Structure 1
Amino acid sequence: MAEFLAGLGKNTILMSTITAWFTAQILKTITSFLRKGSFTAERLVGAGGMPSSHTALVVSLAVGIALREGLDSDLFALAVVLAGIVMYDAAGVRRAAGKQAKVLNKLVREMRVEHKVKDTRLKELLGHTPIEVLGGAVHGTLIAYLFYIFYR
């Protein structure tokens, strides 16, 4: 088991992707605190917010593979396609679902006055704005590059 864990620790691409995700979650928590003025622990693991940690993770993976294997490698092509799907989902599908949740929550609040609807709150912060996705992409690129420089 120790050899297995040591092997994982030596995988700089894996370590850069985990680091990109983790540090993006920390940055997301900090930006949320600066915007709202209060600490929200859910931001440490939740979706949505600046920067996109999902984007940081997949972009770090793609950049790490590009730096190690080259832009013409099959692994890089796979990582770019995966990154594109995740980024589209973050800024498109999940963002639209979050907007729908906001409208539904407003309807429930308005109908609650008439006592006709049970109060069910939907999660509204699901996706990302294009700027949040871009922030995640820049963050993931930076982390992958730093790992490449210092750990190759």
Structure 2
Amino acid sequence: MRYITELFSNIFVLTALASWAEAQVLKTIIHAIVNKKFDITRLFGDGGMPSGHSATVTSLAACVGLVKGLDSVEFAIAGIVAVVVCHDARGVRLETGKQSTILNEMQKTLKLLTSQELPEVKLKEFVGHTPTQVAAGIIMGIVNAIIVYNLFI
């Protein structure tokens, strides 16, 4: 039980989780406005504006930097992880989403052309982020870390 108490009193964990939750709620609202329909799955889904991954890791790194110092080993670890995650969200995962879109369309076309029942495999298309979505997540993460630091530390 002590471990759970320690985990949920860890300001670094709480800051990162709060940033993730804020990004996911905002992403769901933006998706509903743009698409004119509410989709609850966006609360836990990947892709979209802002990047929840970027907000989470950036807020953690910024909070660690503010508390432990920019010259600490903890900040070095959190900062490098944040760079890798943000780069991956914008790079590899964005390209994976584009490829999924094309493959899903190819599958539909093949099904129409052959008139055969093919196995239904729908690939996830919302998996990555545009540079703007990543930048928004980074800004959100840094702002959240600064707010938490000034209010609670």
Structure 2, unaligned runs of 5 or more = none
Query: Identity of paired residues, percent?
Result: 38
Q: Which amino acid is the alignment partner of residue 94 of structure 1? A: R
Partner of 1:104: 103
Partner of 1:141: 142
Gaps of 5+ in 1: none
Tell me the TM-score normalised to structure 2 length. 0.94
> Is residue 2:77 matched to residue 1:75?
no
Aligned to 1:121: 122
After the TM superposition, which of the residue ranges 59-68 and 117-126 deviates more from structure 2? 117-126
Q: How far apart in 2 are the matches of 1:71 and 1:65?
A: 8
Contact 1:96 1:127 (C-alpha < 8 Å) held by counterparts: yes
| Paired amino acid for 2:42 | R
Cα distance in 2 between the residues matched to 1:17 and 1:144: 8
Task: Measure, in 2, the Cα distance between the counterparts of 1:85 and 1:74.
Answer: 17
TM-score normalised according to structure 1 size: 0.94
Calculate the aligned-residue CA RMSD, in Å: 1.2
Q: Provide Cα deviations, 1:94-133, integer angstroms capped at 9, x if missing partner.
A: 1101010111111111111122461422111110000000
- Which amino acid letter does the alignment assign opposite residue 105 of structure 1? N
CA distance in 2, matches of 1:24, 1:43: 11
Q: How many residues are treated as equivalent by the alignment?
A: 151
